[in-house]
Structure 1
C-alpha cells in the first residue's frame, strides 16, 4: 500500500484557527458514609482517633464533649435524603457530628481523610445539613459547620482549640445570629477579612469584618459583583416548629458545599506562596448558588486596613487576622464548631450531617491534536501523524502519549484535530506562521506530484 502524503498536506493548507481542548476528570475518592465498613457505635465515638475502618480520623477540642456517628440514619431526626445520593447508596445514611454533647465550651469536632492524590487541580463536593436549637427560649445556640481542604504547616501550625480547621476552609452559621460572621473564609482557624480581596464581594456598604452577615445584599451594580444572600437562601418555617429559618442562612436545609482547589495557582496578592481554593454553595431545593470567595495563599495579613499607618488599631477598620499560607493538598476535613459555649436541650439540634462526598481530579487540559503530549500542537505531532497514517487502532502507536487516536485507525479524525489546533499550546491560544515541518510536508507533496508526471 502506497503511503500518500498529499491528502494530509493539502488539508494543512486549510489550517483552522479554532483550538479544541479536551477536559478530563477522574474521581479520586468518594464516600456516601454508608455502613459497608465498620464505622462508629450507635451512641457515637467520643474519643479522637480512627473512625473504625473507614479511613477517616476523628478530632475534637474538648475531651468527650463532641462525637462522630458514621453510617448514621439521619431520617431518625427527620432529615430527608441528601440531594446528591446515587443509585445503590443507602438512602438516609451519612456521617453526623455533634459538639458540646455534655457541657458548654467553645468547642469543635471534625473528621479528616488524608490522601496524597489530593493535589494539583481538584474539586471537593459534599452535601451538608445543619441543625440548631430553634426553641426561642434557647440562647446562644448558633453552630457553624463547613469544609476544609489541606493541612497546616510547620510555619503555620493549627490552633489546638480548632484541630479540624486545617488548610483552606469555609464555614457557615446555622441561624444567622453571628453578626458579620455567618459566612466565613479561613486559613486554618484564621478568619479572613472582607478587605483582603478574598471574598467574592468586597462592598456591601459596610466596614471591614471577618465575613458576610446573613442579611447582606448587594443589588447595586455600582458596587461591583451582585450577591443577595437572602435571595440565595430564602426564609421558611422550620418543619415541626413555629420558628422561622432566617433568610441567608444554611440551617435546616440541604446545601452542597464545593471547593475548587489549585495547589499551583499564582495568586493575586503580594506574597509568593502558591495555592488558591474557591468555595461556593448551592441550595438544594431552589438550585440557587453563590461563590463565597477564594482563599489565596499569596494574600498576606494586612495589619493596616484603613491605611493610617497604625497597625491593628482598636476601634478602626483594621482586622489583624494573623493569616498565613497553608498547605491546600492531601486532606479533606468536615467540621462543626460552637463558638458560643451553648448546650442544646436536644443533642439532635446541635448536629451537622454530611453525605455524598466526592473528590475529583481536574486533570491538566488535553489539547486535541497534541499527540506527543508535550502541551502544544506542532512538528512532533505532525511527524507522529504522518508516520502512522492509516495504521490500525488499537494498538496505539509508539510515542503517542497525548491526545489518543480513535478506532479504526489513524486518519481524518486525527488530522482534523491537528489542523484545528496547529501552533496552539495548552496555556496560550495562537496560530503562528507555518513551521518548517509544515513547509517540508508541502514540499513532499509537490515532489510526489512531480513523480506522477
Structure 2
C-alpha cells in the first residue's frame, strides 16, 4: 500500500504513485450515523439522575434538519461540517424534559462506543450542535469523554458520580458560573470557569468575553480530545480549553447531554434543548509521517506550500518536521506525494490528477527560481 517511485526529474509527467495510509496517524473508528445502525455500535443509553424518574430522550438516527434554529432565522439545522453528501443524520439527546413533583431534577444521559480506544496516543473528533431554543431551562451541557468503561454512569457534578475515564462538559448559553467542566474517574470534577474568562474571539466562531448569551449554543462546533504521552487535551474549534495528565486506558468514546439543574427543558417549536452529535472519528497517532513538514498530522496543501516556498534551498529549514538533510528537492517531494492526503479525513484527488497537479506546480516553482 505504501509504494511510490522516485522522480527522475521535476518535469516528469508520467508517474505512477499509490497513496500511503500505512504509517503514522491512522483512522481506526468513525461513525457518521447515516446507516441507521448506530445502536449496534454504541451502548444502550446510560443515565445519571438525582430523582427516581428517568426523563430523557435519545435517538441514534435523528434527522436534525427537522429542527428550526431560532438563531438562524428559523432555518433548518444544516448538514454538519464534516458530513458528506449533505447528510443530516446524527444522534440527538435531551434531558430533564418535564417537571418533577419532588426532589432535585438534575439528569445526564449518554452512550459509549463499542469500539475500544487505542492503548497509545490517539485523537477523537466530533461535530457537535448544542441546540438552544431560547426558552427556559437553557443552561444544559454537552459531554464528550474518553476511556469510559461502559458502566451505567454519566459525569455529574453534584456529588453523584464523575463517570469513568475522563470527560469534558460545555454548556450552551454561558448562563452559568461554570460553563466548562472536566471530570476524572476517582477524582471528581474541576470547574473550568466561564466562557467570559476566555479571551474574546479566542474560540473561532464562538462568542466569548461579551455579555450573554455567549457559548456554543445553536451552531456547529468541532470538539476534540487528544491524548499524547499520557497527557489529555480538550479543544473547541481548534482552541485549547484544558489539559490534564491522564492515566486512563481502554474503554470507549462517551457522547452525552445533561441538565445539571432543576429548571425544566421547555419545548419551543416542537423540540427541546439537546445535544446533536455527528461524525465521530478516532485516529491513532503513530510515528511521524514523511511529508508532514509542518507537523499538524496531515499531508496537504500546508506542506505543499512549504515545499514550493523553499524549493532548492541547500538545507531543509530547521523548523520542519519529517524533513531530510539534503537540499529541498525530489526527496521531500516524493515524501509528500507518497503520503498525499494523509490525515485529511476527506476525499482527495485520484492519484494521477494529484500527481499532475502537484508536479506542475513544483516544475513552475523550479522555473521561477532558475
Q: What secondary structure sits across from 1:75 in the alignment? A: helix
Return the offset for 1:344.
Answer: 2.0
Distance 1:36 1:212, change over 3 A: same
TM-score, normalization: structure 1?
0.49
Bigger CA radius of gyration: 1
Q: Is 1:359–2:293 an aligned residue pair?
A: no
2:167 to 166, 169, 182: 169
Return the offset for 1:293.
Answer: 1.5
- 1:13-412 equivalences in 2 (<5 Å): 24-37=24-37, 51=39, 53-62=40-49, 63-78=53-68, 79-87=77-85, 91-104=87-100, 105-135=105-135, 138=136, 140-151=137-148, 165-179=163-177, 181-188=178-185, 190-192=188-190, 210-218=191-199, 228-229=201-202, 233-234=206-207, 246-247=213-214, 249-262=215-228, 265=229, 275-282=230-237, 289-297=238-246, 327-346=248-267, 348-365=271-288
CA distance in 1, matches of 2:124, 2:171: 20
For residues 31-70 of structure 1, the C-alpha deviation after alignment (integer angstroms, 9 at most, x for no partner) is 0112342x6xxxxxxxxxxx3x234332012453112101
Q: What secondary structure sits across from 2:168 in the alignment? A: strand
Return the offset for 1:353.
Answer: 0.3
Return the offset for 1:350.
Answer: 2.0
Return the offset for 1:159.
Answer: 6.7
Contact 2:46 2:109 in 1 (8 A): yes
Note the residue ranges of structure 2 that are not aligned, 5 or more in a row. Answer: 1-21, 69-76, 292-329, 336-370
Question: How large is the RMSD of aligned CA atoms in angstroms?
Answer: 3.5
CA distance in 1, matches of 2:171, 2:107: 14
TM-score, normalization: structure 2?
0.60
For residues 103-123 of structure 1, the C-alpha deviation after alignment (integer angstroms, 9 at most, x for no partner) is 451100001113335221111
Distance 1:253 1:366, change over 3 A: closer
- Runs of 4+ in structure 1 deviating by more than 6 angstroms, as ranges, are 157-164
Matched residue count: 253
CA distance in 2, matches of 1:215, 1:96: 27
Return the offset for 1:330.
Answer: 2.8
